[in-house]
Structure 1
Amino acid sequence: MKIADLPSNVRELISGGTAIPAHPLALNASRELDRRRQRALSRYYIDAGSGGLAVGVHTTQFEIREAGLYQPVLELAAQSAADWTDRPLAMIAGVAGRTAQAVAEAKTAAALGYHAALVSPAPFRDASEGELIDHCSAVAAVMPIIGFYLQTAVGGRALSVDFWRRFASLDNVLAIKIAPFHRHRTLDVVRGVIAAQAEDRVALYTGNDDHIVADLLMPFAHRRNGEDVTIRIVGGLLGQWSVWTKAAVDLHARCRAAVAGDADVPAALLALDAQMTDINAAVFDVANDFAGVIAGCHEILRRQGLLEGIWCLDPQESLSPGQAEELTRVTKDYPHLTDDSFVALHLDRWLND
């Protein structure tokens, strides 16, 4: 499947920029898939206005593969989306593992109607950049791909400007998720895309949960052949946006509107960058090197009633000491960046089979 084979409204949605939450995994107390609540999460994200769903990614828990849940979870999300709305949604599947596994997962995702594969670099942490390029090319032969600059704290690696130039030059590259949580490395992606002259065909999405608003508002200007080239990050594909998603969609829309004209960006909007970063520190458990990142997302969804508990496939994975109190603090301090009332209004309908 090539980019040209995608529905035109999906291509336009991704290239124009949208808000895509990274879909969590709903489990019951026996750590088995809770299909009812998994479906409710998809319905929530759709009704919140998200432009798509990213499934099989870090927030979905990479362990779904060993648990035999990769295809069932992707299939459930695709079916839930198709049953719930007629509007276009960008369906993104995370693919992991070495090349044979990633290609097999891409084939599964394509067969289920997914539009693009988000390619994890984690299995190639010690490989050469050329080997990683070959890996990405093999997956791109199956379906359109989204590059992923994953932060080193959760299994990523440093990648050069030249890597991103080569990656952006590949056929069938739809977008890049920039998530190194590192400003210099974020610029390396931008420079690589500009060097590849791919700024008009490869959409940039922030995965930098620590600088969401700044990424969406900042013009990135770099020189190419003696001329300035300006590029923008147009959307977000974020674990942070798996919670309080209605507020996230609204925030994305405000940022896009603010940069559409020639007027200065309002200071009040710029101030939200630090507030969102503070929220993310609590949700992602930055104080404990991200140990409670998935459990933090689950806890917000549990408090809202979307999840029954915060169980993860790994029994050792849970909230860190003090994390619950931090979540309470940021919920109280930044009510304008939450959507608890929206969820309460619709929860019964989402949970209704």
Structure 2
Amino acid sequence: MTRLRDGQTFLDAAGWGRAAREHIQGDASTRLYERLTLGDRTAILMDTPPRAPGPTVRDGKSYSELARLATDARPFVAIADGLRAFGYGAPEIYAADLRTGFLLVEDLGVEPVVALGVPIASRYEAAVDLLADLHGREVPAETPLGDQTYRLPAYDVPAFLVECDLLNDWYLPRMTGVSPEPEARETFRALWAEALAPLLDGPLTWTLRDYHSPNLTWRDDREGIRRLGVIDFQDACLGPPAYDVVSLLQDARVDMPEGLEMALAARYLAARRRADPTFEPRDFARAYATLGAQRATKILGIFVRLAERDGKPGYLQHLPRVRRALDANLAHPDLAALAAWYRERLGPSGQPE
């Protein structure tokens, strides 16, 4: 009741207190969303209260701290403002109470970038173009937040590793009935640290981390890259450029038509090469496979966790698609040692879930 009262007080102060309110299906987080309608105007109310980091899992830190996850509304506001300053279609912040975690933001609409679960190629091309443009920029490590600044955290090896651990903590126990022994876990972590190290020595960018179809909308009334609406970037870090590209092109919820993933990847590479003749596609291909395998590893664990801990079994339907992506990425020659570790515990490629 206190939260409802605070939300109404926030809306009253923002001039939207009399708006009609409609609940919006949210994401996998605990955030809540409502679409507000006031006359011929609409806006989105985000209810994202500050939360505690959670219990310690490693090195005296919680999962949220290790994985560099946002625990309040500040990162969303800072990154939204920064992306709009680059010319991208992130929502305008109409009003914000950073203490309580209420945000009133621009409504980016509901027109998707997929149709019947299949990518709309022209819209995915725009999404790829946005990434190529972003990754060609010299991005700052800090961005304004009101009269202060917000510093993006580093998407570093500990962050990647704690995400990979979700496979051992959730997916393997449920799907194979076996949780790896401590020695096998340490080998797993060492292999991943070795595979990730070269990527983090290269150029870094704003890595939005959830740049995929559920968080993209299409707006025909805009021009150029701004036709693409972008949300759910509060966990953005400074990380490898390939991460968001593979997030988009190996979407856990979308069946990619044959040839489209490679065509879109080629479009991205061509744009990067035009902007920077020294850009090396072969290095990008290795990063793409490595981060694709890392992301698939994380998602397998997250989807099982959502089903078993949070009572959201619908995510399990996507496991076969994610497993296929994992197998495809682990086929890269530089990931042979990791592939052997997975093969021993997951079985042969293509094994049904």
- Superposition TM-score, scaled by structure 2 size: 0.30
Q: Which has the larger radius of gyration?
A: 2
